[in-house]
Structure 1
């Protein structure tokens, strides 16, 4: 299963407004709870740009697989301020290589996180994304690992050629 989880944080380093990290099937993004929308959207753009340069998440777009290293349209996530009158304070739009997240210019971090997490869950349920994690393809149909609290697929990998004596 793939998850992208945003959290409001009170304990980031001084001057740090966003911190993202990756694990198997998970991207966790922590945002300074006290930041205002213009500041946290800028910080998220920079942090996700940094993260995407070092991870292996892929978008399936029609008959193409798009990655952060695709030459013509690399995968990127762009946060943009918007005036959202009706509905939740975030809206997600996807096109080849780009996920645009429109954020109401007055949304607090708590409002942003509360609205974005269920929207991202629904977005990922569309099954257009997968992760290559340590040689394993992880997608929405992948089981959780036993140490993560979910069921285990029970698949055991034997040694690779370079690992044998």
Structure 2
């Protein structure tokens, strides 16, 4: 779940993970061109320390996959006019294109719906303390 939040001064993004849940917080009111660099660094940290995996054509992809490590990257949309959110997925890679002029507050509702749809595809799972957690697991909290 992405969330526009009141963060400490100077902090533009952070993350927190629990069983069946990840919260990515971005400083309320910031525009995409302001938060993208910080958010991408936050996502790299999440992937490095988090416990999420992708099942792609029968292969398990993780942050340590030798050829296609999981990489979540926010990018400014190249389209004019730009949609608020456009998500593209391929083995190990998720590119999240956002409107450069939009604020995180505007982006979050559409982004969370897009992430929920991505997770509902059945290709993503969390390994939480030895338990495989999917969208169908009891207690799973989707975006």
Instruction: Tell me the TM-score normalised to structure 2 length.
Output: 0.92
Cα distance in 1 for partners of 2:31, 2:106 equals 11
- Equivalent residue, structure 1, for 2:112: 117
The 1:54–1:67 alpha-carbon spacing in structure 2 relative to 1, beyond 3 Å, is: same
2:31 and 2:101 in contact (8 A); partners too: yes
What is the Cα deviation at residue 14 of structure 1?
Answer: 1.3
Query: Larger RCO: Structure 1 or Structure 2 (Cα < 8 Å, ≥ 6 residues apart)?
Result: 2
Cα distance in 2 for partners of 1:46, 1:109 equals 16
Q: Deviations over 1:73-122 (max 9, x none)?
A: 11110100014446840010000111000011111111111210111111
- Name segments (4+ residues, structure 1) moved above 2 Å: 83-88
Aligned-CA RMSD value: 1.6
Aligned length: 141
Cα distance in 1 for partners of 2:104, 2:82 equals 16
What is the Cα deviation at residue 34 of structure 1?
Answer: 2.4
- Equivalent residue, structure 1, for 2:67: 72
The 1:80–1:87 alpha-carbon spacing in structure 2 relative to 1, beyond 3 Å, is: closer
The 1:107–1:83 alpha-carbon spacing in structure 2 relative to 1, beyond 3 Å, is: farther
- Equivalent residue, structure 2, for 1:27: 22
2:83 and 2:98 in contact (8 A); partners too: no
- Equivalent residue, structure 2, for 1:43: 38
What is the Cα deviation at residue 72 of structure 1?
Answer: 1.3
1:24 and 1:133 in contact (8 A); partners too: yes
- Pick aligned residue for 2:8 from 4, 13, 21: 13
Who wins on radius of gyration, i.e. which is larger? 1
Task: Return 5+ residue gaps in structure 2 as ranges.
Answer: none
Task: Return 5+ residue gaps in structure 1 as ranges.
Answer: 149-165
